[in-house]
Structure 1
């Protein structure tokens, strides 16, 4: 509740011209027969080339089910949209990780109430301590007095619209 109201939202991200060009080149390289689209297997290879991991069956199924009807695969325009969204999510996740790491001054892999107090004193010095405690308790999902990265990420994404 609190963090989403505070405006923790992903910023729109734009690919640089060179990055956009790379995506088009990867599409063309994976479309070996110049069909004008990527098959399921072509798509998997393209994702490995761009992101360094093989998409799961669930991810590939999800993408293939969203393909325009009456086409045999993913056309360039759809591919670019998919890649942009994946890159946007990656950039946003990295921003969340960076913020978490900045709060985790002792490199423990979790945040304590004291970490929260120090962070809030820097960004919102007049915020009452009871509010900081309320936020900490809300973010600490398992009530173990530690906010893991998973807890923190969940809180930062709370209230975001799913696309």
Structure 2
């Protein structure tokens, strides 16, 4: 059983008006020549400004290959959609990390079967132990 099968899916997330404005401002700041789009390098700068890291070549390639081929770069609408998805993924990873940390009561960086059983007894007390064992052994949570 994977997280998606268990119902733990990334939720659609909407930016607040102030966050949306920030993204537009970053787009404009990175579009220095007012071309109306961001080049690959402009996009990398925007990600650094918004997320604090430089995208890898693979990430930049993926983004550039996903844009409309009839444009010279990433237009504002595409940029906003890309950034919204990145923010959703970031929030989802943080949520998963938070849940894992709550279950890792001994701060080991991994869960033992006993940790796993205890966690499930707290959040899903009626779940059969057999199911908990299957999930633990499959490693697909």
TM range (shorter): over 0.9
**Root-mean-square deviation over aligned CA pairs:** 1.2
**Distance in 1 of aligned mates of 2:20 and 2:88:** 13
Matching of residue 15 in structure 1 with residue 20 in structure 2: no
Structure 2 segments unaligned to the other structure (5+ residues): none
**Distance in 2 of aligned mates of 1:60 and 1:112:** 37
Structure 1 segments unaligned to the other structure (5+ residues): 140-154, 157-163
**Distance in 1 of aligned mates of 2:68 and 2:124:** 48
Q: Secondary structure at the match of 2:119?
A: helix
Quote how far apart the aligned CAs of 1:3 are: 4.1
Number of the residue aligned with 1:150: none
CA contact (8 A) 2:45 2:54 kept: yes
Number of the residue aligned with 1:128: 128
Number of the residue aligned with 1:52: 52
Matching of residue 4 in structure 1 with residue 4 in structure 2: yes
Change (3 A) 1:114 1:82: same
Change (3 A) 1:15 1:104: same
TM-score (norm 2): 0.94
**Distance in 2 of aligned mates of 1:37 and 1:11:** 28
Number of the residue aligned with 2:100: 100
Q: Which moved more, 1:97-106 or 1:6-15?
A: 6-15
CA contact (8 A) 2:3 2:9 kept: no
How many residues are matched? 141
Q: Secondary structure at the match of 1:111?
A: coil
**Distance in 1 of aligned mates of 2:67 and 2:131:** 46
Matching of residue 114 in structure 1 with residue 114 in structure 2: yes
**Distance in 2 of aligned mates of 1:131 and 1:66:** 39
**Distance in 2 of aligned mates of 1:66 and 1:105:** 41
